[in-house]
Amino acid sequence: MKTASPRPVPVPANIEVEARLAGPFTARQCAILAISAAFVLAEGEVLHTILGLSPVVVVGAVAPVVFAGCLLALVRPGGVPADRLLRGAIRYARTGRRRADVPEHLPLPAGIARLAPLYRRIAELDGTGVVELDGLEAAVVIEAQPRCLQLADADEARAALAAIGTVLSAHSGPFSISTLTERVSLDERAQVAAEVAEHLSTPQLADLARRQATYLRGLADGGDLWRRRHLITVREAGAGAAARAAHRARAAAQLFEACGIKAHVLDPAESTALLTVACAPERSAGPRRLAPPGRPITAGLEILEQE
């Protein structure tokens, strides 16, 4: 007996469909159309009754309002309602991007000040933090997480090591592998757990969150916590060194990912924080991100709201 082969069934990606209130219109569309209609009636009444304008002039005056209302209510560019895009554009225009102006004679952090004679600046190239050194040299740092091979069999371990060795030997320029040990603070994680516990409606989950916060604080009180960071620094020299170093680092990170090793190229803020931690080991806990010297502090803005 021949069985029929399964047929693929297309599933829509967006299954969050808004409820219809009146025919094909949702509550949001009905509200926009009602507000537009009320404004058009009020404007037409003022222009025709009070000012005594002709009907042709009144129609021409209210036509842009009708067009704008229909545009906001009915148009969905890219599947996003036009009114949501308008709100996001207004928020973006009204929010200042520059948060702080850096004075000219502001002292550098301790770690950066120690490295000041060694490099010129930390530049950004397509999201990659490029440390520009003296002598037309540039360096880019890759952070990789080690892969545990204890549970793998001998053949899998040899294949993984051979792949990693092939990636490293494929570099066309100098690179270095280093390990950085730094202190870790659990205060932020404990604070997040405590705040989540206050908003949980289930008593059991709230109790577990409080216990988690207490456990994290207990770990921090028991002594200094440390972690190791495995870093690969790619260097290039000469004209176009920054572009070549960034390209090599991104390619190496992708190859490490293919080998089962999580790796990412540090951006300017992560590179600045890394240099600060490396040159200031006496810090109680190292920062995750720092604005490079001479760059204004900016804040990201989510343009579209999630409804």
User: What is the separation, in whole angstroms, between the first and last Cα of the chain?
Assistant: 51
CA distance 108 to 131: 16
pLDDT band with cut points at 50, 70 and 90 for residue 272:
confident
pTM confidence score: 0.51
pLDDT band with cut points at 50, 70 and 90 for residue 3:
low
The residues facing 28 across adjacent strands are: none
What does the pLDDT average to over 180-206?
80
pLDDT in tens, 203-246: 888 888 888 888 877 776 656 677 788 888 888 888 888 888 88
Report helix, strand or coil for 278.
helix
What does the pLDDT average to over 48-65?
83
Query: Shortest CA distance to 140 belongs to which of 239, 250, 229?
Result: 250
- Tokens representing 257 are 């990912």
**pLDDT value at position 306?**
38
User: Does 304 score more than 50 pLDDT?
Assistant: no
Residue whose tokens read 């990789």 = 144
Alpha-carbon separation of residue 240 from 137, 178, 245 (angstroms): 9, 25, 9
Most confident range (mean pLDDT) of 73-87, 113-127, 202-216 is 202-216
Cα-trace Rg, the chain: 29
Query: Shortest CA distance to 171 belongs to which of 213, 88, 82, 233?
Result: 233
What does the pLDDT average to over 22-45?
84
| Amino acid identity, position 234 | V
Specify the higher pLDDT residue, 243 or 14: 243
- Distance from the Cα of residue 237 to its chain's centroid: 31
| 139 backbone dihedrals φ, ψ, rounded to 5° | -135, 145
Q: What angle do CA 109, 114, 115 make, to 5 degrees?
A: 100
